[in-house]
Amino acid sequence: MGLTMGQPQAHGRAPRVGVLGGTFDPIHTGHLALGALFARTLALDELILMPAGQQPQKTGSTAAEHRLAMTRLAADGLADTMRAAGLRAQLTVSTLEIDRAGPSYTVDTMRALRTRYGPGASLSLLIGSDQLMRLNTWHAWRELFDFAHVCAAARPGFDRHNAPPEVRDEIVRREKTADEVQSSPRGGILIDDSLAVDISATELRAALAGAEHGSGPGARPPANLPAAVWQYIRDQHLYRS
């Protein structure tokens, strides 16, 4: 699965596992805040950060080796933040999707993780509400609920009533509280509106390509980018225009 930090704290019950995947191109503080939010809300025993391999809906991503390296650097800082906040979740950086040949379909990932953690574990896919709004465009999206819960952090302007009808119907049918997600293995939808963070990786890449964020000694890191990730980007000369 990759890098792990800390020890799970299941205390004899079924484990609670959250999976935060994405292109992470680059990983930013919004991703980390979402992970920490659900680590607390769901009292997770393990939080998995999973850089995507081949994204079916995206092209031209930065090489997987760089995205994985940036994720590991960001995970170091997130682990410190979580410990300082009293969160005891084990933090894992997984290479499952990067190592798998072919497109990275989330349903395949969740199927594999369900096999690994067993039928009783509370397994949750952690996403932003923008992804929830287009969940119906994902490959075999309804099958996700056979393996996991879907937990979404609302971004500013989110309105569930604007979701596509089929997604809205699933929200109505499946919505659960945090306690219900913690105590059941799969099949629910949780929407958390306490974070309200709106950070765009596309805008970050544009900022990184700008002159004011160049490689000179006076270069400034964009807001919302972990310092270690910024340094890696500079060292590897990524996102140059």
CA dist 12 and 52 (Å) reads 32
pLDDT in tens, 17-68: 999 999 999 999 999 999 999 999 999 999 999 999 877 666 788 999 999 9
H helix intervals, 85-200: 96-99, 106-117, 129-133, 165-174, 178-182
pLDDT in tens, 168-209: 999 999 999 999 999 999 999 999 998 876 777 777 777 777
CA dist 154 and 131 (Å) reads 10
CA angle 230, 51, 27 (to 5 degrees): 25
pTM above 0.95, yes or no: no
Overall CATH class of domain 3-201? alpha beta
CA-to-CA dists, residue 94 to 19, 39, 120, 218, angstroms? 10, 17, 21, 35
For helices 64-84 and 227-236, angle between their N-to-C axes, nearest 10 degrees: 160
Buried/exposed code over 4-27 (b: 16+ C-beta within 10 A; e: otherwise): bbbebbeeeebbbbbbbbbbbbbb
pLDDT band at 8 (very low <50, low <70, confident <90, very high): very low
Asked if the model's pLDDT at residue 221 lies above 80, the reply is no
Domain boundaries, the chain: 3-201
pLDDT band at 141 (very low <50, low <70, confident <90, very high): very high
